[in-house]
Chain A
Amino acid sequence: MNKTFKLQFTLNGRPTEAMINPSARLLDVLREDFGLTGTKEGCGKGECGACTIFMDGKAVDSCLVMAIQAQGHSIITIEGMAKEGRLDKVQEMLLQEGSVQCGYCIPGMVMSARALLNRNSNPTLDEVKYAMSGNLCRCTGYHKIFKAVLRAAQIEREAKSKI
């Protein structure tokens, strides 16, 4: 691969640069150049959400973004979710609720849920469904995933009201 493009961006909060193949997808650069294999490829055409990451705080499918389009932008992957060794509240609740079966869709689910809770701390079940309608899970039937997201929101609201 001819790595002729100098990509400069913020990756999981850190200013980062690397020489990359200019015609590579962001998904491939994250996984192969940076070793961030938590982001999964499912369908590769924007229908399953397994490759969901944050681009400037919005949940996007990294299979549909060219790596050079990340130039100057902030990218956060599932590896950037845990802070100081502590899981994000969404991750914690997915574990507690037993929401995970094979787990392949879960990194994408976490990103979409976090994107929702960052802009809406008190979502309804319908709002959770709308925000996560771009993420497919073939194991769980979604019920426990939605429950975990609603619980994460509730716990975060309660924590905030105590401060």
Chain B
Amino acid sequence: MSISIQRCTSLPELFQAIEGIKPPIMYLAGGTDLMVLLKANLIPDSAWFDISDIPDIKGITVKDDMLVIGAATPFDEIYPDANVLKWAKALSEAASNVGGPQIRARGTIGGNIANGSPAADTLPALASLGAQVNLLSARGERSVPIEGYALGNRRTVREADEIISSVSIPIRAGIKGAWKALGARKALAISKISLAVSAVLEQGSFSYLRIGLGSVAATVRRAPQAEEVLLNGGWNRETLEEACRIIQTEISPIDDIRSTAEYRKAMSGVLLHDALISAFGEAPTR
């Protein structure tokens, strides 16, 4: 195994450095996934470029009704951010639970997406929020919806010369949300299943509601049938029960090293129940 590595501190420097480089190219930010693969000898001979100190892809801003989070922003700067708490509560909760403190200090939202794992903690939250992934290369910029970013486990739409520059989350007045997951322990365990809900509730009816699920398919996915129950029927005991029942029938998880299909199905209903009640602070009153 041999790798080369070059440190880049600006986007022009990066794009110049990668010109003519033969893939595989690895973009190193927080290193919390790549360094683990390197240690396990699971990295092919490759050219690495350190993008952790490029200011243009760091930080959190609000512009034009969008919350924009730079791809190289670490989790511990995302979860306590006032704008993230206000406009993307589900994402804040997910980011505060990734790995442990040391992982959150280095690991980035862009890396969580780029890694292409269906177990990535922030993906269900981003799917519930209708986030866009912004890709940048010397050729230009493009955006893809978070649900279209991964094509399968570890396969994504990103081309070798592209980096994820940021994620954009539409700002929706009155949005609430929550993220829930189950793992072998609270910290530093890859989730057996994770679920996020983001919703706008107005006088008992939902004007916006999306559910994102992690670790139940090869990529992050939504729960359209459960969403429809709540969008059509509003917020009451009957719709809550029905949504938590139907979500178990509309997903088809697998048995793997971390859990079983049966457990994941059963827990999808429990997590949806807990996430909705946590998002709105109480059970439905009628």
Interface residues of A (CB under 8 A from B): 22-23, 25, 44-47, 49, 52, 55, 58-61, 63-66, 68-69, 71-72, 112, 115, 130-135
Contacts and interface: CB of A to CB of B under 8 A. Distances in A.
Contacts of B103: 46, 61, 64, 134
B35 interface: yes
Contacts of A23: 3-5, 48
Nearest to A43: B39
Contact of B7 (A46, A65, A69, A131): A69
Interface string B3-34: 11111000000000000000000001011100
A18 to B, nearest CB: 15
Contacts of A22: 4-6
Contacts of B36: 45-46, 64
Contacts of B7: 68-69, 71
Contacts, number: 88
A103 B36 CA distance: 25
Nearest to A115: B101
A68 B7 CA distance: 7
A71 B53 CA distance: 9
B188 A45 contact: no
18 contacts: A23-B4, A44-B39, A45-B35, A46-B99, A46-B103, A58-B76, A61-B106, A63-B35, A64-B30, A64-B35, A66-B5, A66-B48, A66-B50, A69-B52, A71-B53, A112-B101, A134-B103, A134-B187
Most chain B CB atoms below 10 A, which of A49, A72, A115, A134: A134
A132 to B, nearest CB: 8
Interface residues of B, number: 28
Contacts of A66: 5, 28, 31, 35, 48, 50
* Cβ-closest 8 pairs across A and B: A134-B100, A133-B187, A58-B105, A64-B35, A45-B36, A61-B102, A134-B102, A64-B31
Interface in B76-120: 76, 99-103, 105-106
A45 B188 CA distance: 11
Contact of A59 (B35, B40, B101): B101
A47 B103 CA distance: 9
